[in-house]
């Protein structure tokens, strides 16, 4: 499901960002979970043959952001805690997922995972998001 925002130039998911990752997520409202299949382009290499850690953090953050956004929740990341468990290969099929675990007041607690095709968790993250007034995100 492409983002419903017009002219979405988000680096991770925006169709209108020529330099973006163009991630396409699916959303399961029952699980409050967003998922995406992807392969990492070699231009995002860090250590030789593997993905850069900053790009992995971007993916994990975006999966949680989509679990909020595709459920109609407007929120921003206020904390991101990434665990890099295994080297992430370039070009190989990967599965990215983000899920809301709980909500306390304006604070939303989420988890995300990046897995390989065999189902091994390569990296995962905990994120805290804060609900914000949509007007604050507009310029």
Ligand X SMILES: CC(C)(COP(=O)(O)OP(=O)(O)OC[C@H]1O[C@@H](n2cnc3c(N)ncnc32)[C@H](O)[C@@H]1OP(=O)(O)O)[C@@H](O)C(=O)NCCC(=O)NCCS
Q: Which residues make up the interface to ligand X (CB under 6 A)? A: 76-79, 128, 130, 132
Residue with tokens 């030789």: 48
What are residue 114's phi and psi, to 5 degrees? -120, 120
Question: Shortest Cβ distance from residue 5 to ligand X (Å)?
Answer: 14
Which residue number, 41 or 79, has a Cβ lying nearer to ligand X? 79
Which residue number, 81 or 120, has a Cβ lying nearer to ligand X? 81
DSSP run (H or E) holding 25: none
Indicate the burial class of 126 (C-beta count within 10 angstroms; 0-12, 13-18, 19 or more): middle
Question: Shortest Cβ distance from residue 132 to ligand X (Å)?
Answer: 5
Q: Tell me if 9 sits within 8 A of 17, measured CB to CB.
A: yes
Q: Is the dihedral of CA 99, 102, 108, 110 positive or negative?
A: negative
Which residue number, 48 or 135, has a Cβ lying nearer to ligand X? 135
Which residue number, 95 or 132, has a Cβ lying nearer to ligand X? 132
Residue with tokens 């925002």: 5
Question: Shortest Cβ distance from residue 108 to ligand X (Å)?
Answer: 11
Which residue number, 24 or 132, has a Cβ lying nearer to ligand X? 132
Q: Tell me if 56 sits within 8 A of 63, measured CB to CB.
A: no
């Amino acid at each position: 499901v492409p983002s419903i925002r017009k002219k979405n130039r988000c680096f991770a998911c925006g169709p209108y960002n020529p330099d973006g990752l163009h991630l396409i997520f699916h959303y399961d409202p029952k699980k409050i979970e967003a998922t995406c299949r992807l392969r990492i382009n070699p231009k995002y290499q860090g250590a030789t043959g593997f993905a850069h850690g900053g790009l992995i953090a971007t993916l994990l953050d975006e999966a949680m952001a989509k679990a909020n956004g595709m459920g109609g929740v407007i929120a921003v990341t206020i904390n991101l805690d990434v665990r890099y468990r295994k080297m992430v290969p370039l070009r190989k099929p990967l599965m990215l997922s983000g899920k809301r675990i709980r909500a306390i007041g304006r604070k939303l607690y989420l988890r995300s995972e990046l897995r390989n095709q065999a189902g091994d968790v390569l990296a995962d993250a905990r994120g805290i998001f804060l609900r914000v007034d949509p007007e604050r995100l507009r310029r």
